[in-house]
């Protein structure tokens, strides 16, 4: 792996991924032309907030930003973790920040005990919420051996202590992730058959009937395909200022759904109400139908991880010991393709992409159709080890 500096001249593209790759590869980072042609050039408030969070999690990291904010240099330090609190900028959700730093969580000198405050829902369905991270990304960490051995202590956990919808925020989340010396290679290639569906319809400062209507509409579609469907309704009012049941000042409504297959594969999809729409523009029933449709679309793709989790699992595959890791995914998203190029540039790891839809393996036409839509990715890990972890 090269030790030369990383230089990017295309602005804030993959802002979080480039910072994380710089820290993991221990290579200095230079990013130029950050919105240099805009009327308001430079870093946005949420990007500056993410840099402050990185500075809190590491020791020895040096960040230099020019006067206009259109260029910054970073010399990465060592991941320390420990007990850290951070107030996230409300123009992005807590999930945006947590998704960015999650690949670093297991490689610190100490276990990560992180408290984040801000918006707990996603924005415009373009960002993942903390509920999605809990349902989809934390199980992926366990597949890589993070907290897999319960005798050594608890695994990665996420607890919502207070809900906060956009744009006001006011939510709070506690995250715990144990440190590891090295990851474990994975072999997740069989999506299996869906055996149950679980979900959560969450509301903030909205009448309790709304999440119930969301759950009822989603189950109306899913029950036609599988009987074991259970969707919890989580109603949060503003009457409690702290603790469970309390929430921020802004109203919000969302639905997160997850499937579990016979092989242990979990696929998730979520929908968050856009706060910028006029009141009544989207009915709760529409939200439930949209969530169920997105979940079924993830199942149709035939992958073992959902679309929003692809880039996360690709990065962890590169960091495994020098052994082959394999994963089956559905349609590669544009962001995932860009991530694969970044991983090749930073770590020198090139994924082998294989389509196995034409193999005669005894499956019927319906099962073979799902596999034909998916692709198999494999790579050899770089043998990354947590040098921050104390030797005992």
What DSSP assignment string belongs to 315-340?
HHHHTS-SSEEEEEESSPPHHHHHHH
CB-CB contact of 16 with 44 (8 Å): no
Q: How many CA atoms lie less than 13 Å away from 213 in the CB half-sphere?
A: 13
Give residue 302's region: left, alpha or beta (phi > 0; psi -120 to 50).
left
Q: Select 1-79's CATH number: 3.40.50, 3.30.530, 3.40.1130, 3.30.110.
A: 3.30.110
According to DSSP, the β-strands at 78-79 and 58-59 are antiparallel
Per-residue pLDDT of the chain (392 residues; tens, 9 = 90+): 567 899 999 989 999 999 999 999 999 999 999 999 888 999 999 999 999 999 999 999 999 999 999 999 999 999 999 999 999 999 999 999 999 999 999 999 999 999 999 999 876 556 899 999 999 999 999 999 998 877 677 889 999 999 999 888 999 999 999 999 999 999 999 999 999 999 999 999 988 899 999 999 999 999 999 999 999 999 987 655 544 557 888 999 999 999 999 999 999 999 998 888 877 788 999 999 999 999 999 999 999 999 999 999 999 999 999 999 999 999 898 999 999 999 999 999 999 998 754 333 445 545 544 445 789 999 999 999 998 766 54
What pLDDT, on the 0 to 100 scale, is given for residue 360?
38
202 bridge partner residues: 234, 254
Q: Residue 391 carries which DSSP code?
A: P
Taking the CA atoms of 278, 280, 283 and 284 in sequence, report the sign of the dihedral they define.
positive
Which sequence spans correspond to the domains of the chain?
A: 1-79, 194-300
What pLDDT, on the 0 to 100 scale, is given for residue 171?
94
Burial of 211 (0-12, 13-18, 19+ CB in 10 A): buried
C-alpha closest to that of 109 among 148, 140, 81, 73: 81
Q: Hey, what CATH topology would domain 194-300 get?
A: Dihydrodipicolinate Reductase; domain 2 (3.30.360)
Neighbours of 387 (CB within 10 A): 11
- End-to-end CA separation in angstroms for the chain: 28
Q: Which residues of 230-251 are buried (b: 16+ CB within 10 A; e: fewer)?
A: ebebbbbeeeeeeeeebbbebb
According to DSSP, the β-strands at 252-261 and 157-162 are unpaired
What pLDDT, on the 0 to 100 scale, is given for residue 239?
58
Neighbours of 166 (CB within 10 A): 28
CB-CB contact of 179 with 81 (8 Å): yes
Burial of 21 (0-12, 13-18, 19+ CB in 10 A): buried
C-alpha closest to that of 201 among 158, 236, 246, 245: 236
CB-CB contact of 296 with 219 (8 Å): no
What pLDDT, on the 0 to 100 scale, is given for residue 390?
60
C-alpha closest to that of 295 among 312, 281, 307: 307
Q: How many CA atoms lie less than 13 Å away from 123 in the CB half-sphere?
A: 16
3-state SS, residue 205: coil
Strands (E) in the chain, as ranges, are 6-8, 29-31, 58-59, 62-65, 72-75, 78-79, 82-87, 112-118, 157-162, 171-177, 187-188, 194-204, 229-236, 252-261, 266-272, 324-329, 352-354, 375-380
What pLDDT, on the 0 to 100 scale, is given for residue 247?
87
Distances (CA, A) of 299 to 93, 128, 265, 321: 26, 18, 11, 30
3-state SS, residue 126: coil
CB-CB contact of 226 with 102 (8 Å): no
Give residue 224's region: left, alpha or beta (phi > 0; psi -120 to 50).
alpha
What pLDDT, on the 0 to 100 scale, is given for residue 361?
45
């Amino acid at each position: 792996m090269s030790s030369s500096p990383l230089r990017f001249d295309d602005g804030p593209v993959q802002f979080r991924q480039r910072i994380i790759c710089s820290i993991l590869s221990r290579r200095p980072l230079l990013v130029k032309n950050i919105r240099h042609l805009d009327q308001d050039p430079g870093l946005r408030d949420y990007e500056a907030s993410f840099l402050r969070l990185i500075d809190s999690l590491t020791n020895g990291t040096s960040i230099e930003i020019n006067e206009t904010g259109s260029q910054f240099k970073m010399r990465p330090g060592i991941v320390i973790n420990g007990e850290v609190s951070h107030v996230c900028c409300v123009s992005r959700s807590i999930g945006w920040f947590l998704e960015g730093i999650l690949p670093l969580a297991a490689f610190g000198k100490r276990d990560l005990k992180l408290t984040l405050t801000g918006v707990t829902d996603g924005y415009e369905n373009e960002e993942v919420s903390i509920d999605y991270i809990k349902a989809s990304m934390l199980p992926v960490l366990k597949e890589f051996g993070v907290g897999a051995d319960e005798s050594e202590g608890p695994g990665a956990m996420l607890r919502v202590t207070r809900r906060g919808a956009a744009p006001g925020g006011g939510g709070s989340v506690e995250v715990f992730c144990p440190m590891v010396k090295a990851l474990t290679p994975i072999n997740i290639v069989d999506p299996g058959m869906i055996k149950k569906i679980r979900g959560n319809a969450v509301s903030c400062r909205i009448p309790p009937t709304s999440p119930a209507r969301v759950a009822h509409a989603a189950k109306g579609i899913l029950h036609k395909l599988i009987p074991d469907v259970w969707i919890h309704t989580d109603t949060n009012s503003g009457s409690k200022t702290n603790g469970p049941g309390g929430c921020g000042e802004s109203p919000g409504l969302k639905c997160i759904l997850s499937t579990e297959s016979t092989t242990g594969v979990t696929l998730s999809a979520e929908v968050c109400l856009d706060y910028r729409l006029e009141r009544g523009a989207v009915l709760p029933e529409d939200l439930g139908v949209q969530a169920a449709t997105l979940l079924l679309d993830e199942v149709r793709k035939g992958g073992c991880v959902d679309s929003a989790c692809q880039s996360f699992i690709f990065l962890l595959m590169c960091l495994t010991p020098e052994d082959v890791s394999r994963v089956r995914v559905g349609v590669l998203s544009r962001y995932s393709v860009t991530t694969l190029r970044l991983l090749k540039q930073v770590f020198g790891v090139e994924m082998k992409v294989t389509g196995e839809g034409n193999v005669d393996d005894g499956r019927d036409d319906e099962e073979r159709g799902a596999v034909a839509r998916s692709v198999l990715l494999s790579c050899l890990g770089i043998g990354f080890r947590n040098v921050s972890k104390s030797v005992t």
